[in-house]
Amino acid sequence: VTVSLALGVQRMAKNNAIVRKLSSVETLGGVSVICTDKTGTLTENKMMVRKIYSGLKEVKDYNNFIKRHNKADSNSSKKTLTVEDLDSNSALKLLIDNAVLCNDAYYINKETGQITGDPTEVALIELGSFYSIDKNKLEKDYPRKLEEPFDSERKMMTTISKISTGDNRRNQRYILFSKGAPEVIAARCTRIIKNSRIENLTDSD
């Protein structure tokens, strides 16, 4: 039996599975279900937007900021980002508005900046805060009227927000925001913003 276990350990070692105790091999042979959890052990359940591309161009000010932020200590202020004027970059402004409005994460403590929700959506809210875009204020300006939640079939989430003012129905306008799997979103796109102009999306894009 010992020889058989030793041979089993040797075979597992070739597959990068190191066994410290021979008896563990026999125990492992009777296992039918393995439950594991990496959150809190290998990861912190936190995410961050690492790079932004807008209008086919890399947003270098943000990407460079992230590099500096990662090198700094954990107590450094996140709001040290020197950004380009969002009013003159409609594509970037629209991208960040989309990330913040098509989002179910929310602040539970505005003073400390504590946000609750899906880690991916929390990261998008924090992206908005880097650009001084406040989710609560933005939702007052663009109140959500409809929502199609993310599901495994659509692979995307969609919200519709009101962007008009006044009570006249003729003046009411709405904007649709979506986020999801890149290939799913891209397949639904027909236009692209280039140099602040809306153009037809081509295969080369």
Return the active site residues.
Answer: 37
Q: Is 28 helix (H, G, I), strand (E, B) or coil?
A: helix
Q: Are 58 and 51 in contact (CB under 8 A)?
A: yes
Per-residue burial over 88-109, b if 16 or more Cβ lie within 10 Å, else e, is ebbbbbbbbbbbbbbbebebee
The secondary structure of residue 135, as a DSSP letter, is H
Return the structure tokens found at 205: 């894009």
CA pair distance 27, 24, nearest whole angstrom: 5
DSSP letter string over 31-68? --------BTTTB-S-------EETTEE-HHHHHHHHH
36: exposed, middle or buried (Cβ count in 10 Å: 0-12, 13-18, 19+): exposed
